[in-house]
Amino acid sequence: MPGVGTINLAQLLTEVGPVLDRVESAGQGAGECGAAPVTKASGKTHGVYIRWAAKTRAGKTITAFAHNSRMRSP
């Protein structure tokens, strides 16, 4: 995994690890961590929003890992 260091790996294990124990799919895990968008539709209107009812520290950890991976990957 490019870009994962000691600190980021520890954050992933402590914040995201317990979430992965109770979910059945990657999409469900992303939703629990707040990394998946929420689509709301009613009649002719629809919108995509941020998931507020989520584990914010786990979402920030995933975002930090994605940024580190993007910076280190050729």
**Does the predicted model carry a pTM greater than 0.85?**
no
Residue 47's pLDDT is what? 93
pLDDT tens-digit series, residues 28-45:
887 777 777 888 999 899
CA 31 vs CA 26, 35, 44, 54: distances in Å: 9, 6, 25, 7
Sequence-distant (≥ 6) Cβ neighbours of residue 57 within 8 angstroms: 15
Mean pLDDT, residues 51-62: 78
Asked if 25 and 52 count as a contact pair (C-beta separation under 8 A), the reply is no
Domain boundaries, the chain: 6-72
